[in-house]
Amino acid sequence: MTHLTPTTNSIEIRRLHWHFKKKQPVLRGVDLALPVGSVTALLGKNGAGKTTLMRALTGGLPFPRGTVSVLGRDPWRERVAVLRSIGHVADQTELPRWMKVREHWDLLAPFYPGWEMSEARRLAERLGVDPDARYHDLSRGGKELACLVAALAHKPKLLLLDEPFSGLDVLARRRVFDALLELLREDGRSALLASHSLADVERCADRIAVLHEGRISLCGEIEELRRGATRLAVELEGDSPSWTPPLPAKVERREGRELVLYTLRDAESLQDQLAHDPAVKHVEPVERDLEDLVAAALGEVAPS
């Protein structure tokens, strides 16, 4: 059994590549570290490779290049050990329609050394899951809640959640967030959450990682990224159609002499250069939110 060197990260991915046969590469050298004790939201467009990355973390893909460590283990070579140590809710989970929720627990319990049936019952009550319900009779949201109970019942050190809240109503989401935050308050527990909902991300994540064109284009603590990024309204002295901003700024919008610029780094240097540019008449900061940061990382025009 091969163990990777223990680190302060629950997940370490280095130069990970993956492509499907006769198709364009999906992952083109992904680098990502998930610090112990953090909740990181994995963001990206549909088809960006988020689910593929999750499959690599759970040992479902033999990647041709790169290394992956999950809780200090190689998930491809030690898949069973990794799966016994984590909690995983996939984007689409096929469950026997005839099976009751509690019967599913009975099947899972021997697989997880830390499984606690009392914890499964407690979580089921808290999340409104009926242990005697058959999966056939549950709504999509009900199935997602039941899968979350199964993922949390052994109190894993790491949670991998792939779009786990898409079928939940507002009240169910609130219960889920409270349960997750309670678990993650315990020392040394981490989570990677793939989601399209920035509202969900802001409620429970402290870090984001944006997957774009096969690579991580932005990664870090949300508050730190907000402080490091800037969005500026710029008015030029005259009609200067050939004027371009200094790097690393990009033009988000341009209307005649008025532009909106954004940058995800070196904000102070950018503002200083603009202040000394004779072509610039006026510069004024514009508020940025998480949606702006993600849009910039995806190379899109942020909303005005």
pLDDT at 46 over 90: no
CB 63, CB 20: distance < 8 Å:
no
Whether residue 174 sits in one domain with residue 42: yes
Whether 294 is covered by a domain: the verdict is: no
Whether residue 253 sits in one domain with residue 137: no
Q: For residue 199, what pLDDT band results from cuts at 50, 70 and 90?
A: confident
- Residue 27 parent element (H or E): strand 25-35
Q: What is the pTM of this model?
A: 0.82
Residue from 243, 240, 230, 236 nearest 271 by CA: 230
What is the three-class DSSP state of 28? strand
CB 57, CB 51: distance < 8 Å:
no
Residue from 242, 290, 293, 241 nearest 267 by CA: 293
Whether residue 179 sits in one domain with residue 53: yes
- Residue where a domain stops, chosen among 223, 247, 266: 223
Could you give the C-alpha distances from 198 to 41, 44, 203, 244, 294, in angstroms and in order? 9, 11, 8, 31, 9
Whether 293 is covered by a domain: the verdict is: no
Whether residue 180 sits in one domain with residue 40: yes
Whether residue 262 sits in one domain with residue 153: no
Distance CA 71, CA 78 (A): 11
pLDDT at 6: 45
- Tell me how crowded residue 194 is: count the other CB atoms within 10 A of its CB: 22
Check which CATH number belongs to the domain holding 205 and give it.
3.40.50.300
Q: For residue 3, what pLDDT band results from cuts at 50, 70 and 90?
A: very low
Q: For residue 299, what pLDDT band results from cuts at 50, 70 and 90?
A: low
Distance CA 294, CA 218 (A): 8
Whether residue 13 sits in one domain with residue 133: yes
Whether residue 18 sits in one domain with residue 90: yes
pLDDT at 67 over 50: yes
Whether 4 is covered by a domain: the verdict is: no
Whether residue 131 sits in one domain with residue 80: yes
| Structural domain count of the chain | 2
Domain range holding 276? Answer: 230-287
pLDDT at 4: 43
Report long-range pairs for 2-5 (Cβ below 8 Å, ≥24 apart).
2/73, 2/74, 2/77, 2/78, 3/72, 3/73, 4/67, 4/69, 4/72, 4/73, 4/74, 5/72
Whether residue 144 sits in one domain with residue 76: yes
Whether residue 203 sits in one domain with residue 178: yes
Whether residue 114 sits in one domain with residue 192: yes
